[in-house]
């Protein structure tokens, strides 16, 4: 097939690390976010705020925090997370 013909492609699988915000796991989330990033919890609203490279993001209970292989942090709603990711074995030797 030449380069100017239409073809179908599949995105390469990308392994990420993730944690779900439950409203009761701030310490685990704070450890997950890691040094150099800020996480804050507003107990009155039961909301979590994390700072990503795009600025402050509000995370509500049930949302996921996703860390890519490049250490980019993203917040994602549960439905989108379930549609995008499946649990996998830990690959200690990525290619």
User: Tens digits of per-residue pLDDT, 26-84?
Assistant: 999 999 998 778 899 999 988 899 998 889 999 999 999 999 988 899 999 999 999 88
Q: Which residues pair with 24 in a beta bridge?
A: none
What's the mean pLDDT in 86-95? 68
Contacts 24+ apart (CB under 8 A), 47-51: 48/21, 50/75
Decide if pLDDT at 11 tops 70.
Answer: no
Q: Compare 65 and 4 and report the one with higher pLDDT.
A: 65
| Alpha helices (runs of H) in 34-89, residue ranges in sequence order | 78-84
């Amino acid at each position: 097939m030449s380069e100017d013909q239409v073809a179908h492609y599949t995105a390469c699988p990308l392994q990420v690390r993730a944690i779900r915000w439950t409203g009761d796991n701030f310490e685990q989330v704070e450890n997950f976010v890691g040094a150099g990033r800020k996480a804050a919890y507003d107990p009155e609203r039961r909301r979590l705020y994390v700072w990503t490279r795009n600025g402050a993001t509000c995370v509500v209970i049930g949302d996921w925090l996703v860390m890519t292989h490049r250490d980019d942090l993203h917040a994602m709603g549960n439905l989108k997370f379930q549609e995008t990711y499946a649990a996998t074995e830990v690959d200690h030797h990525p290619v």
